[in-house]
Amino acid sequence: MKNWLQAAFVRSPQTKSNTNSAMPLVALQLAHSAHSGHSAQWTPRNYAALAREGYQQNAIAYRCIRLIAEAAASVPLCVRNDNECIGDNPAVRLLRKPSPKISRAEFFETFYSYLHLSGDSFLEAVVVDGRLVALFNLRPDRMRAVTDHKGWPTGWDYEVGSKKRRFTTDPNSGRSLIHHARLFHPTDDIYGFSPLAAAAKAIDVHNAGGVWTKALLDNSARPSGALIYKGTSGSEHLSAEQFERLKSELDGKHSGAGAAGRPLLLEGGLDWKAMSMSPTDMDFLNARREAAREIALAFGVPPMLLGIPGDNTYANYKEANLAFWRQTILPLVRKTADSLGTWLADWYGDDLRIIADEDAIPALTLERAARWKALNDITFMSAVEKRERAGLPIEVVQ
């Protein structure tokens, strides 16, 4: 706050004729880079910068990723045999407790968080005596693809400092200790594209709006004002000593939130003209709200779930939450279950089928009950056909 206040007091060089013709005043105003001809500064599109500016310093992006990760991790994955989930086998036990260090929920929250932070998520399989015993999440910024002469990946390097581990695909069994999940990238055949990168400009605008708002608070929410010197004893201008003293007084005693409401004691010849919040400031606050909606849109989270004001897309919270589960969480979990099943089939057999247990999702209970009631009311289907249509095990009905 002191920097812009001091900069605002620095008067540009003027000719003597211009100085004499201008009304003597000391003006305080907020500067903006657009007014000075500077181009906008955007966050670099790399993992470290996006994670810092997006996840660690932006509440909207942080909450979006947490909402998605926690919701998706809460959906159980089950191993399916025909129309029934298997109660117990090695694959089931692995999915229930994939890592010995953390819980299942923490494991999958990490997996989904990495996926939305970088567009990529990596799992390492730990094999003992030919048996797959555990899975571990690997940081995506430490993974580098090893490619053949055609550009296709044949393995992965995991780099931590100066240390490097290489994971390659077994040429005989086709097994790979690394599972790579990615979000579609239109210009990259190997790595995924992060929602955080798509929302990067909106995140920068939102963060800049926070800095702007903080500046307003530090300046008692008054972005500009002017001290007009009317002149006394025949003098029309402040001397250099008077100007420096006035600048020091304003900077030290009348700026910042702690000085809000403090009376301004003026000497003879000085008149304070207060200015309210300018249209530029109001536009900046509105732009910040629009940026928050754009961030939520990139992640597929209804703004209503984030408490963003002014969004009436959904009639109520229940409909917004249902849309979030149907349009964002379920496609993500289904894709994850399918990719895990394809990867783990190398250990557990080609008939392995992993699906999301959608019946265990509380948010879809009412919708599921209505669907079952409609199915039960059908008169032209047998009980066996109804059970098959509902995805339930087919049993002999008495």
pLDDT digit string (tens) for 178-213?
Answer: 999 999 999 999 999 999 999 999 999 998 888 877
Highest average pLDDT, of 217-231, 247-261, 315-329, comes from 315-329
Length of the chain: 398
DSSP state of 230: -
Residue range 260-285, pLDDT digits in tens: 455 565 566 666 666 655 555 566 77
Lookup: tokens for 120: 């990529």
Q: Phi-psi category of 362—alpha, beta or left, where left has phi over 0 and alpha has psi -120 to 50?
A: alpha
User: Which pLDDT score, from 0 to 100, does residue 125 have?
Assistant: 95
Q: How many other C-beta atoms can be found within 10 angstroms of the C-beta atom of residue 197?
A: 21
Note the pLDDT of residue 199: 93
| Two tokens, residue 223 | 């972005």
User: 274 and 266 in contact (C-beta within 8 Å)?
Assistant: no
Which pLDDT score, from 0 to 100, does residue 212 have? 76
* 388 CA to centre of own chain: 40
Rounded Cα–Cα distance for residues 184 and 188 (Å): 9
Amino acid letter for position 141:
D
Highest mean pLDDT among 237-246, 302-311, 352-361 belongs to 352-361
In the chain, where does DSSP find H-type helix?
Answer: 2-9, 16-21, 47-50, 59-73, 90-96, 104-118, 195-198, 200-218, 240-253, 279-299, 317-324, 330-348, 365-376, 383-389
CA distances from 332 to 122, 300, 316, 335 (A): 16, 11, 24, 5
Contact call for residues 151 and 189 (beta carbons, < 8 A): yes
Percent of the chain with pLDDT over 90: 39
Each domain of the chain, given as residue ranges in start order, spans 47-51+73-194, 361-398
Helices (H), 300-364: 317-324, 330-348
Contact partners, residue 68, CB within 8 Å, separation at least 6:
112, 116, 299, 300, 301, 328, 329, 332
Burial environment of residue 102 by CB neighbours within 10 A (0 to 12, 13 to 18, 19 or more): middle
Sheet holding 270-274, edge to edge: 25-28, 225-229, 270-274
Tokens 């780099």 sit on residue: 159
For residues 209 and 287, the answer to whether their CB atoms sit within 8 Å is yes
Summarize pLDDT for 64-93 with one digit per residue, the tens.
999 999 999 999 999 987 667 787 888 999
Output the pTM of the full model: 0.75
- In the three-class reduction of DSSP (H, G, I as helix; E, B as strand; rest coil), residue 335 is classed as helix
Candidate from 19-28, 34-43, 249-258 with smallest mean pLDDT:
19-28
pLDDT in tens, 12-25: 444 444 444 444 44
